[in-house]
Amino acid sequence: MSGHRSVEIIVRGRVQGVGYRAWTKGVAEARGLSGTVRNRRDGSVEARLSGPEDAVAAMIEACREGPPGARVEDVTVGDLAASDRPDAAGPRGVQILPTA
């Protein structure tokens, strides 16, 4: 689907306990994205987001800064296959999932 992109973003640094998931949900939804965000046991945050290419690109850049109080050290981005798109069958918006 032209103009659409689905990615997995892994953010490392001081990103847990600073409101990073709630911030991600709000910023992503404001950009019209859908997907999921969760803390990971290794201390990172994982976001799987889908939407217009330009909005996804802007969200990736926003994740490099994060909310006040966060200290982002590294952001890894990988494209998801169409079958793994977070909006393929799920609800609209961004869901906060339990830690994995």
The tens-digit pLDDT sequence of the chain (100 residues) is: 459 999 999 999 999 999 999 999 999 999 999 999 999 999 999 999 999 999 999 999 999 999 999 999 999 999 998 777 665 545 679 999 999 9
Map out the domains of the chain with their CATH numbers.
4-88 (3.30.70.100)
Yes or no: say if 36 and 86 are a contact pair by the CB < 8 Å rule: yes
Query: Catalytic amino acids?
Result: 21, 39
Strand-pair category, 45-52 with 34-39: antiparallel
Taking alpha carbons only, the member of 32, 57, 48 closest to residue 100 is: 48
Residue 4 CA: distances (Å) to CA of 30, 35, 87, 98: 17, 13, 11, 27
Give the CA angle between residues 94, 96, 100 to the nearest 5°. Answer: 130
pLDDT at 5: 94
